Amino acid sequence: MVIASNLGFPRIGPGRELKRCLERYWFGEVNEAELQAAAASIRRQNWLLQKSAGMDHIPSNDFSFYDHVLDAAVMVGAIPERFGITESVTLPDYFAMARGRVGGGGRRDLPAMEMTKWFDTNYHYIVPEFSSGRPFQLLDDKPVREFLEAAALGIHTRPVILGPFSLLMLGRDAESGGPVLHRLPELAEVYVELLRRLRDAGATWVQMDEPCLSLDLDDASMGAFETACRRIGERNSGIEILLTTYFADIGDRLDRLADLPVAGLHLDLVRAPHLLEKLIARKRTGPAVSLGIVDGRNVWRADLHRLLGWVERAIGAFGAERVMIAPSCSLLHVPLDARLETGLSPEVQNMLAFAVQKLHEVAALAKGARFGRKAIAGELDTCTAALEQRRQPGAFHDPAVRERVAALKPAMFHRPLPYDQRRGLQAQRLRLPRLPTTTIGSFPQTPDVRKARAQYLAGRLDGSQYEEHIREQIRHTLSVQEQIGLDVLVHGEYERTDMVEYFGAHLAGFTTTQFGWVQSYGSRCVKPPIIFGDVHRRQPITLDHTLYAQSLTQKPVKGMLTGPLTILNWSFVRDDQPRWETCFQIALAIRDEVKDLQAAGISIIQIDEPTLREGLPLRKADQPAYLRWAVDAFRLSAAGASAQTQVHTHMCYCNYGEILDAVIEMDADVISLEAARSSMELLKVLSERRYPNEIGPGVYDIHSPRVPSEAEIHALIREMLKVLRPEQLWINPDCGLKTRRWEEVIPALTHMVQAAKRVRGELAAS
């Protein structure tokens, strides 16, 4: 019989209970027992829910207090020396690793372990650090504990463990920072031991996640993985391993994976639908196939008709006992339950499938496969009707938008003149000093600002009162910037909770949800907007606030926009047309905004694209196509500007070396980049490859409360001038200042402006 299977479930709880309880625990408002009870209750609800939804294989150990990669590192005893842990890891120890610990009482400050993005998702994991002097050991048996906890509730689960290959690949050597894959044979023995313990506890299946198989791998790494997997597969008597891959097309290594001694192989058929035919064409027996066909990365209803066809095809080829039906990856990346949303239009509501709905889809497909299409006639009809409605003109489609995209001409992707000629025109108009100083856009979002917003949302402030509050903030921010002596000013972005959500809320084709939370890291959750239909701008979005700010000063005020790619990458995107097409629609909306700002006299416009790097596909072969349309989308939005209008962009926290060519092709007049946390690295990249236009590598780290001294910034500017020409250098912080306090921002910017002035003087004298 086919198996209905799930790979992982959202762990924050229906009302974000875990988030709330964690934060109260960190504040000392609840004790460990209360936190443990809240966690156990979430796990219990999740298991029962999955059971009642008809899942045959229900995951356990997919819960985490902070991050599942950190859990796996702790499990095998990979704990950085600085935490001084030798025996067992207590909950305070665990959080110290995840979040750092402030010293006191004779204890040192402990910096947190580094955090970085989980593949191409917006989830962030803790980067494991492996000390070479510390042998691996099974330090913590969380997978066994959670298996037994579920068993006590009468639920037989399939423990999920992050596989040893991915655990090592995601981490680095604690001392050298280098790769650690050579320790795989040693680590594999710990997994042999873990599987033995799971079997003794009564587990029959284990899900071994190896998402790093979705990356470009050299032959040696792939070989190391195979050896370890064989060792684990052959040494375990009686427990079946489901080897899970997801997020990319692994077609080039499918044969090798299918020959491993594992009981099941999971494939992401949403990202790589052709893998099924490829597997069928092998005509060899191999592991059971887990068909990852319900999209675990997006929020749309599945096409049950089509997917049931795939299931039937797989059953025909492999036999029903060798087929599993599953979401494409863990459901960690989608919100919990679409039924909680009450404010959506019925057409959109009807198209949504969050985690709970996705389980029902998996269950329906399994039922259809077992008992025939008639057995799920109701589900199929509902699905067909919803999909049909989506194709009809109406809520989802806007012919004018589609015509506009179809009518795009190459000239629309080019500024009217090349940079060399724009430069002089802009200099004449703006009359900025050398090494102009500016900020990235946002200024402190104080408790005051947040309170006014909350009151407005609760209906306790009316629109005009709230607007007056925003204007008061703008006035204050402008006067501070004038006093500090910055050259290019900003309005401060007080009206935005979030740079994407704000634009999403003002564009047609977008909707925002009430409860659509997704874990970003630890207790932090985000609520991505949903792009359901053709996108266009109903009316100007930023014009009023920008013009108001400009009316208060003689200096230029930058118009601040979020770029089309970033809006795309931080939203749930419609799946009935290619991503580039949606991105071009957004680009046209931003282009309209650029034109309106320009027509109203704004001379500088910044289009932020912090996510250019993060949207990059995992496999190198897929990257050039993405970069092409990504750069084009930015250009389409920016090329609405005349030669005299200066277009800025901003990017942060990525390895620019990989994408510098694309960044250059974006052809912004000025780019500001994060650099203070890794300034030397960026300068190295820029010394090897000339950046043609103007550029502001950040001169201080805004993620730290530390105020940099003038001398420090001065020295950094001097370093920058070794690889950049004075005519092209701008002076700015790393990123927006919204998370900082005024007490930090004012002295830091003052030092920055003083340092810039000092270097100007030095340049004039030399």
Tokens of 515: 């409860």
Which of 89, 602, 652, 659 is the binder for ligand GLN (CB under 6 A)?
652
C-beta of 308 vs 440, nearer to ligand GLN: 440
Contact region with ligand GLN (CB under 6 A), list: 317-325, 435-443, 660-668, 687-695: 435-443
Residue 126 C-beta: closest distance to ligand GLN, Å: 21
Which of 42, 208, 272, 440 is the binder for ligand GLN (CB under 6 A)?
440
Tokens of 193: 């031991």
Give me the 494-523 binding string for ligand GLN, x by CB under 6 A, dash otherwise. -----x------------------------
C-beta of 361 vs 495, nearer to ligand GLN: 495
Residue 141 C-beta: closest distance to ligand GLN, Å: 40
What residue 159 binds from Zn ion, ligand GLN, none (CB within 5 to 8 A, per partner kind)?
none
User: In the complex, which residue's CB is closest to ligand GLN?
Assistant: 736
Which one-letter DSSP state was computed for residue 433? P
Query: Percent helix, strand, coil in the chain (nearest 5)?
Result: 50, 15, 35
Contact region with ligand GLN (CB under 6 A), list: 12-20, 193-201, 663-671, 731-739: 731-739
Nearest-CA neighbor of 496 among 433, 429, 443, 459? Answer: 443
For 32, 52, 270, the CA distances from 38, given in Å and listed in that order, are 10, 21, 34
Whole-angstrom distance, CA of residue 10 vs CA of residue 122: 14
Tokens 């049931």, residue located: 308
Whole-angstrom distance, CA of residue 740 vs CA of residue 557: 21
Tokens of 56: 């045959």
Helix 463-484 crosses helix 742-765 at what angle (to 10 degrees)?
40
C-beta of 596 vs 608, nearer to ligand GLN: 608
Contact region with ligand GLN (CB under 6 A), list: 204-212, 439-447, 523-531, 586-594: 439-447
Alpha helices, H only, 133-285: 142-152, 164-170, 184-201, 219-235, 254-258, 275-281
Contact region with ligand GLN (CB under 6 A), list: 98-106, 130-138, 438-446, 635-643: 438-446
Which of 441, 556, 563, 640 is the binder for ligand GLN (CB under 6 A)?
441
Give me the 587-626 binding string for ligand GLN, x by CB under 6 A, dash otherwise. ---------------------x-x----------------
Tokens of 12: 């924050």
Residue 443 C-beta: closest distance to ligand GLN, Å: 8
Binders in 643-682 for Zn ion, by CB under 5 A: 652
Contact region with ligand GLN (CB under 6 A), list: 357-365, 689-697, 734-742, 756-764: 734-742
Interface with ligand GLN includes 650 (CB under 6 A)?
A: yes
Whole-angstrom distance, CA of residue 475 vs CA of residue 443: 12
* Buried residues in 710-730 as b, exposed as e (16+ CB within 10 A): bebbbebbeebeebbeeebbb
Residue type, 494: Y
- Catalytic residue of the set 57, 545, 703, 714: 703
Residue 395 C-beta: closest distance to ligand GLN, Å: 31
Whole-angstrom distance, CA of residue 744 vs CA of residue 445: 13
- What are residue 111's phi and psi, to 5 degrees? -70, 145
Binders in 44-83 for ligand GLN, by CB under 6 A: none
Which of 675, 736, 748, 759 is the binder for ligand GLN (CB under 6 A)?
736
Interface with ligand GLN includes 560 (CB under 6 A)?
A: yes
Residues 6 or more apart whose CB falls under 8 angstroms from that of 387 comprise 301, 303
Interface with Zn ion includes 55 (CB under 5 A)?
A: no
What residue 442 binds from ligand GLN, Zn ion, none (CB within 5 to 8 A, per partner kind)?
ligand GLN
Contact region with ligand GLN (CB under 6 A), list: 99-107, 280-288, 358-366, 735-743: 735-743
Say whether 703 is catalytic: yes
**Distance separating the N- and C-terminal Cα atoms of the chain:** 82
C-beta of 10 vs 733, nearer to Zn ion: 733
Alpha helices, H only, 458-569: 463-484, 501-506, 543-551, 564-569
Residue type, 274: H
For 415, 610, 616, the CA distances from 564, given in Å and listed in that order, are 17, 11, 15
Which of 365, 735, 752, 755 is the binder for Zn ion (CB under 5 A)?
735
CA 448 to chain centre: 29
Whole-angstrom distance, CA of residue 275 vs CA of residue 278: 5
Which positions are catalytic?
703
Task: Give the footprint of ligand GLN on this chain (CB under 6 A).
Answer: 440-442, 493, 499, 560, 608, 610, 650, 652, 735-736, 738
Task: Give the footprint of Zn ion on this chain (CB under 5 A).
Answer: 610, 652, 735
